[in-house]
Amino acid sequence: MAKKKRKTFQKSQLLSIFQNGNYQKVISKIKQFEIEGMSDKELYEIKLSSYEQLASSNFDVGDVTRALRDIESFLSISDSEPYRLIKLKYLCYLEYFEDAVKFGEELIVSKDNKIKKEAMFLYLLANIYEGNYELNQKYLKLLSPAKQNYTLGFVEFLRGNIDKSLEFLHKCNPRIQVEKENLQAIKSIILNEKMVCSDTVKPLYRFLICGDDRSLQNTKNSRAIKKEVLSKFFKNKKESDMKNLLSLKSSISIETILNNTIKDKEQRKKLIYNNIVLLIEKQGNYDKALELFVKYKFDLVLMVESALLFINLRSHTEDKKSDKIIIEFFSNYFKLHYKKLSEFQLNCVFIFLVKNINTQIDITITFDLIKEYGGDDVIFLLKEIPLMSKLEPSYQDSFSKIVKRYSYFKNIMLTNLSNQLESIDKEFETLAKEEREPLVVRLILLISLLKNLQQPHKKYQKTLFDIFGNLALVCQSFELKKYKKLYLELAESINVFIDYYGVNKIELSVDIKALFVSIDKGKSLKISKVNKYDNEIMFDFLSKMFEEEDDNSDRYDFDEEEYDFSLIKKDLISALKNNQDPFALRFNKLNAYRYSNVIYGFILDVIAKAIEFNRYDSLFVVKLLVFINLQVEDEFFREKLVSAVGVYAKKDVDVAKLFLYDCITNVDMKDRKYVWYLKWLEGYLMLVADYSLPQDGAFYSCLHHFKKTQEKKKFKSLDAKYKKIVKKFKERGGLFD
């Protein structure tokens, strides 16, 4: 029977596969087909190259079994020492140490010195891994010093002599940088130290240092330990993820947090919170942060910090998906945390709630919620005032109470009222006629409430005048003749505030000026289509203003405290002048004002007058302080004395210096060791120096005591001052203490 002819394959096709790097396919084609047009020599060369390449690439990806198979195929057609050396290497990597020792014996007698040395190194190592730690010194000496030291170090390591092993490894100093790095990696593994691994570090070392198993040789032993090592790294990675999260290096997925070994509910909610913070702070990803907030709202609501986080998130994103959780979230939040919050924090939340009302149903629920948690002022300013149809008896008191004390959030609410009036003006033309009459009623009620406000805080001045400006705008939409009361009420109310705040009429807004001009001319400028910015109108306003200008000396001083102090001071000085006992007088308000910021100016002015009228003695300061109910040891007094004296010194340095010195000498002996007291002394010394006053006995006493006490106490906060003083002043000795 005729032999079946082998199928053929084109040489060009085979070369193309070879060039594409598909060496396995090249080998398989050669096995299956007769290659047409290719000589035996060419076929031989291409087979060798393919086996060589296959072995090398398989080894590089960690498939040492295939690499060994390929190199053996290579050797079956071309036996050469360099490739046998490669086989020896693969046998070692495959942990076939017994075979390696046998195979190595042939190579260590090679005539090629380079191959001999390399083979010797592998041969010795294969013996060591086999458990034979007794090294053949003759063979060992053939190796380079670096390899000798490594081999000795490795044997000591296997024997458990870590210190000795490290000694050899330290001595091992290969020339190539990559080898140095790999040696460092072994030392790090032995010492259990952290190391950043580059890609040039050998796969086993990289794997043992950071759990990166890329290109790790796939052997029986490596498969066995891989799971064990990776699980350790996985556990540590989770912990380092957490650390990164906590140190705000990078965020992690919420699932990682929830699936983490941290079972503690308290910690989990904190981790979720931190992750959201991280998304905001490091990545600015408010949308994702808000999404997580909504998802984990039940965890987060347990934290008192969560409300502000939510408000902050909402203020940075247009996302409306979280709208539906607002009321539910804050209902739960208030139940848990209401008692922990300050008034301003509550107001902040209340305003947020009102600003985010989206449906009619929400209005009632939101206002009920706010009312339940004490937001009556908010309800009053944001709901009751804008919608009032009659003046409830409590309104005036409520409004006066609200504006008596300044608060930023109340100011926001008043601004909101002002803005509403501005909107009414803009949309006035669209208002139905039947809505206009009730609007006038509401406006008059509001004007009346404003007019009768009792002592609104000075910080509300701008907002209140904005409200008046917008009221004036709205008024102008109504016919003056028909609604004269509205115009007059508003003008009267504005005049009350002009007097109260001492406002210069020229500085009034153009809308208010236009209102006054309208009243004067008997017609609405807006309806008459007169431009309120017309110079003639402003001229009319100014003329009218100058006509009305009267003596403003009785104008109310809105700084009540300052006003009261000036009265008390006047009486005290009068007593000093008339040789009466000033401290026999009684002023109820003085006690309440004793921690006022103007108290020092008051004291120093009185002292200056006492000196002027020759009524001052060393006990005057003590008597005055007792009279005010202040003590030199009061925290308020202690902290502000030096700076207040410094301010007054610009006006009268002698009085300032005398006062400070008398305060210093009136401090109880037992208190003269404290920082605040040394600060007084330092203040006194610097006052003398700054104003180039004579350095008398009092000065040197202060200097001596300051230095002595600071040397003993060594207050860190005074260290720099001490050095400065030592450098600046030479001590003369003192008797102060």
| Residues 61-120 close enough to bind other proteins by CB under 8 A | 89, 92-93, 95, 97, 118
Nearer to other proteins, 81 or 179 (CB): 179
Q: Residue written as tokens 């408010």?
A: 286
Which amino acid, one-letter code, is at 284?
G
Nearer to other proteins, 176 or 196 (CB): 176
384, 395 in Cβ contact below 8 A?
yes
**Binder of other proteins out of 236, 591, 597, 643 (CB under 8 A):** 236
Evaluated on CA atoms 525, 530, 534, 536, the torsion sign reads negative
Asked whether position 273 contacts other proteins by CB under 8 A, the answer is yes
Report DSSP state, residue 457: -
Which amino acid, one-letter code, is at 474?
V
Report DSSP state, residue 195: -
Assign 301 to helix, strand or coil: coil
Rounded to a whole number of angstroms, the minimum distance from the CB of residue 191 to other proteins is 8
Rounded to a whole number of angstroms, the minimum distance from the CB of residue 147 to other proteins is 7
Nearer to other proteins, 95 or 561 (CB): 95
Asked whether position 357 contacts other proteins by CB under 8 A, the answer is no
- In DSSP terms, which residues pair with 10 in a beta bridge? 36
- In DSSP terms, which residues pair with 9 in a beta bridge? 35
Asked whether position 225 contacts other proteins by CB under 8 A, the answer is yes
Give the CA count within 13 Å in the CB-facing half-sphere of 590: 21
Rounded to a whole number of angstroms, the minimum distance from the CB of residue 356 to other proteins is 17
Asked whether position 217 contacts other proteins by CB under 8 A, the answer is yes
Asked whether position 636 contacts other proteins by CB under 8 A, the answer is no
Nearer to other proteins, 333 or 616 (CB): 333
Give CA–CA dist 118/143, Å, rounded. 8
Contacts of other proteins in 282-311 (CB under 8 A): 303-305, 308-309
Rounded to a whole number of angstroms, the minimum distance from the CB of residue 243 to other proteins is 7
Nearer to other proteins, 355 or 482 (CB): 355
Rounded to a whole number of angstroms, the minimum distance from the CB of residue 3 to other proteins is 47
What residue spans of 476-615 are helical by DSSP H?
Answer: 484-501, 510-521, 535-548, 560-577, 588-592, 599-612
Contacts of other proteins in 129-168 (CB under 8 A): 129, 146-147, 150, 157-158
Rounded to a whole number of angstroms, the minimum distance from the CB of residue 157 to other proteins is 7
Contacts of other proteins in 170-189 (CB under 8 A): 174, 176, 178-179, 182-183, 185-186, 189
Contacts of other proteins in 321-350 (CB under 8 A): 339-342, 344-345, 348
Q: What are phi and psi of 456, to 5 degrees?
A: -65, 150
Q: Residue written as tokens 């996985």?
A: 234
The site string for other proteins over 404-443 (x = CB under 8 A, - otherwise) reads: ---xxx----------------------------------
Give CA–CA dist 189/181, Å, rounded. 12
Rounded to a whole number of angstroms, the minimum distance from the CB of residue 490 to other proteins is 32
Asked whether position 278 contacts other proteins by CB under 8 A, the answer is yes
**Other Cβ atoms closer than 10 A to 237:** 14
Q: Residue written as tokens 């006992």?
A: 581
Give CA–CA dist 456/464, Å, rounded. 9
Rounded to a whole number of angstroms, the minimum distance from the CB of residue 143 to other proteins is 10
Record the tokens describing residue 234, joined without a space. Answer: 């996985």
Asked whether position 205 contacts other proteins by CB under 8 A, the answer is yes
Rounded to a whole number of angstroms, the minimum distance from the CB of residue 728 to other proteins is 23
| 389: CB partners within 8 A, 6+ apart | 438, 441, 442
